[in-house]
Amino acid sequence: MPIARSNGLKIAYEVFGDGPPLVLHPGMFQIGAHWTEAGYTSVLATTHTVILVDPLGLGASDAPQDKAAYALSKRADSITAVLDEVGADKAAYWGYSLGALTGFAVAVHAPERLTRLVAGAFDPIDGFDSALDLMRGELGLPADADMYPLIEQGSAADPTLAAVIEAANPAALRANYAAFSTEPGLHAQLAEVDVPMLMYAGADDMWHDAMHTFAERTGTPFTSVPGLGHVAAWSDSAAVLPVVLPFLAADRAS
Q: What's the DSSP call for residue 112?
A: G
Nearest to 56 by CA among 92, 18, 102: 102
Contact 247, 253 (CB under 8 A): no
What pLDDT was estimated at residue 50? 98
Q: What angle do CA 221, 224, 225 make, to 5 degrees?
A: 130
pLDDT single digits (tens) 128-154: 999 999 999 999 999 999 999 999 999
Side chain identity at 223, as an amino acid letter?
T
Please write down the long-range contacts of 234-237, taking CB distance under 8 Å and 24 or more positions apart.
234/27, 234/38, 234/96, 234/97, 234/120, 234/121, 235/38, 237/38, 237/39, 237/40, 237/43
Handedness of CA 87, 47, 122, 111 (dihedral sign): positive
Beta-ladder partners of 246:
none
Q: What is the mean pLDDT of each run of 10 residues along the chain (254 residues)?
A: 96 97 97 97 97 97 97 96 97 97 96 98 94 92 93 94 96 96 90 95 96 95 97 96 95 66
Beta-ladder partners of 15:
51
pLDDT single digits (tens) 65-113: 999 999 999 999 999 999 999 999 999 999 999 999 999 999 999 999 9
49-53 sheet: strands from edge to edge:
3-6, 9-17, 49-53, 21-25, 91-96, 114-120, 197-202, 222-225
